[in-house]
Amino acid sequence: MKFVSVRIIASDVSRLVEFYEGVTGLSATRYTEDFAELATPSCTLAIGSARTVALFGAGSARPADNHSCIIEFRVDDVDKEYGRLEKIVREFVQRPTTMPWGNRSLLFRDPDGNLINFFTPVSAAAIKKFNA
């Protein structure tokens, strides 16, 4: 088995795609007005419109209604990213903080309220874990 993507269902695909292009520095592939993907070397972030939900089962997902998942991106320097993101992000949940498990984390929300974590491994154990 290979984990390949996370999909966010959005009411406004373009708005969310533009936000994620801005925070990640990646260019999205826009397959249709209802679906786009931002590919990274390890996983893909897909963004689909609420109109696509019926293809999976009516009512199976709702836009802007996530309160249980955190979308995480490992970055080279979380403090540097924080400085860059202050111009893009409206809601920071946590400024850069070193966590007990050895990552320095920055938490913020996308325009639909989804929680995002940019983190940098800083302890020897965390660095070893992510460089293995």
Reported as a single tens digit per residue, the pLDDT across 4-45 is 999 999 999 999 999 999 999 999 999 999 999 999 999 999
52 and 76 assigned to the same domain: no
73 and 129 assigned to the same domain: yes
Provide the β-strand partners of residue 8.
47
CB atoms within 10 A of CB 124: 9
15 and 51 assigned to the same domain: yes
pLDDT the model gives residue 59:
80
Distances in Å between the alpha carbon of 119 and those of 54, 65, 97? 35, 24, 9
Cβ proximity of 117 and 107 under 8 Å: yes
pLDDT tier for residue 122 given thresholds of 50, 70 and 90 = very high
Q: Give the CATH number for residue 51.
A: 3.10.180.10
* Chain mean pLDDT for the chain: 94
Mean pLDDT of 44-68: 88
| Domain boundaries, position 78 | 67-132
13 and 73 assigned to the same domain: no
Judge if pTM exceeds 0.75. Answer: yes
CA distance 121 to 106: 12
